[in-house]
Amino acid sequence: MLKQKASPESVLLQEKEQESIAQLAQILSRESAQPKLVTSNGEEIILPESVCNILRQAVQAMASEQAVSIVRHNRELTTQQAANILNVSRPFLVKLLDEGAIPCIKVGSHRRIQLKDLIIYKEQRKVKRRQGLKELTQFLQEEGFYEAGIQDITQD
């Protein structure tokens, strides 16, 4: 049985596992039914969608020969942890908190941010950025600065 370590570790694909990982990546990308885990004694467990999403992402990265790390987060984050997740400076995050862009609670003189609130903000920011890019692209097309045939940068 594997022991769980307290700190996150990157997992690199071993050469002998490449074929299995490639097969698994293909199955997970085309599988419409919910995958299940079969234990050594034959017990079957249907994997929750959240676990399937993480598994798909990890396997796709490993199949692309990227290292994979899983980092656990507390449900309540410090301002520095939240800033790291958003990839912004701590002072900028504090400004967002002061403006009310992200809800927070105070523990003594320290602010704490709920992970779910941070994820909601991050998704809203992503939507706003995509909308802004879409509007900019439309403006450039209308003004003739955007050549026909160039792929729209707002598409995934």
Which residue ranges form the domains of the chain, and what is each CATH number? 15-63 (no CATH), 76-142 (1.10.1660.10)
Q: How confident is the model at residue 12 (pLDDT cuts 50, 70, 90)?
A: low
pLDDT in tens, 101-129: 999 999 899 999 999 999 999 999 999 99
pLDDT in tens, 45-94: 988 888 888 888 888 888 888 878 777 767 899 999 999 999 999 999 99
Q: Please, is 90 exposed, middle or buried when counting C-beta atoms within 10 Å of its C-beta (0-12, 13-18, 19+)?
A: middle
| Residue 40: predicted pLDDT | 92
- Rounded to whole angstroms, the Cα distance separating 145 from 147 reads 6
- Our CA dihedral for 70, 74, 76, 82, rounded to 10 degrees, sits at -30
- Please state which of the ranges 5-9, 23-27, 66-70 shows the lowest mean pLDDT: 5-9
Task: Say whether 73 sits in a helix, a strand or coil.
Answer: coil
| Residue 153: predicted pLDDT | 54
Q: How confident is the model at residue 6 (pLDDT cuts 50, 70, 90)?
A: very low
Q: Which residue has the higher pLDDT, 50 or 98?
A: 98
Instruction: Examine the pLDDT at 8 and tell me if it is beyond 80.
Output: no
Instruction: Examine the pLDDT at 3 and tell me if it is beyond 70.
Output: no
| Residue 135: predicted pLDDT | 92
| Residue 10: predicted pLDDT | 54
Instruction: Examine the pLDDT at 147 and tell me if it is beyond 70.
Output: no
Per-residue DSSP letter, 11: B
